[in-house]
Amino acid sequence: MLLAFVLLDSPPPPVSGAGERGPLAAGQVIYLSTRLESDTKSAGRKVIAGWSRPGAGIQATEESGPYAVEACAPLTVRKVVPDRSLVTIKDRGGMKHTLAGDWTGRIHASETECRERFASRPDETIRENRKLQYELPPLPESHGSDAAEQSSRP
């Protein structure tokens, strides 16, 4: 019983993506300022042609392409695993997605805030990796030596 009291008394460490709003919590609605794409998830097949008669019918279908979650769509936090830096979210279609790593700059509390951030990178798309997680690419290295070389040239 004492151990439970100690655990409840100490706040959990903040999860990446929490920002100034505090740690993310299950049930919270968030907005991501990037588009997510997955080749392993499916939005289903799309009917492109059909024909039917009483007692018979035929439909031509095609794959609808990769499953995508558009930027700034409302997403619900399902589970937060702080020690592994994982956040599981659910989109409007009921599909679950796992964010891995630090998403602080891409998680927003409002759609307006999200749209403002997304305007600076409208073509950014993050694809699901082999672990079925979305990870942000590493930031590019600063090219300070290149800038110094260019400024020294006549």
Q: Is residue 143 part of a domain?
A: no
Q: What is the DSSP letter of 103?
A: -
Per-residue pLDDT of the chain (154 residues; tens, 9 = 90+): 333 433 334 333 344 444 445 689 999 999 999 999 998 887 666 666 666 667 777 766 666 678 899 999 999 999 999 999 999 999 998 999 999 999 988 999 999 999 999 999 888 899 999 999 999 887 666 444 444 444 444 4
Q: Is residue 62 part of a domain?
A: yes
Any bridge partners for residue 135, and if so which? 100
Question: Rounded to two decimals, what is the model's pTM?
Answer: 0.67
- Whole domain around residue 27: which residue ranges? 13-136
pLDDT at residue 1 in the model:
39
What angle is formed at CA 67 by the lines to CA 115 and CA 65, rounded to 5 degrees? Answer: 120
Residues 6+ positions from 60 with CB-CB distance below 8 Å: 47, 48, 49, 50
Local structure of 87: helix, strand or coil? strand
Beta carbons of 127 and 135 less than 8 angstroms apart: no
Q: Is residue 153 part of a domain?
A: no
Beta carbons of 134 and 32 less than 8 angstroms apart: no
Q: Is residue 130 part of a domain?
A: yes
Q: Is residue 4 part of a domain?
A: no
Domain count, the chain: 1
Interatomic CA distance for residues 121 and 19, integer angstroms: 20
Q: Is residue 59 part of a domain?
A: yes
Q: Is residue 34 part of a domain?
A: yes
CB atoms within 10 A of CB 66: 16
Q: Is residue 116 part of a domain?
A: yes
Residues 6+ positions from 129 with CB-CB distance below 8 Å: 135
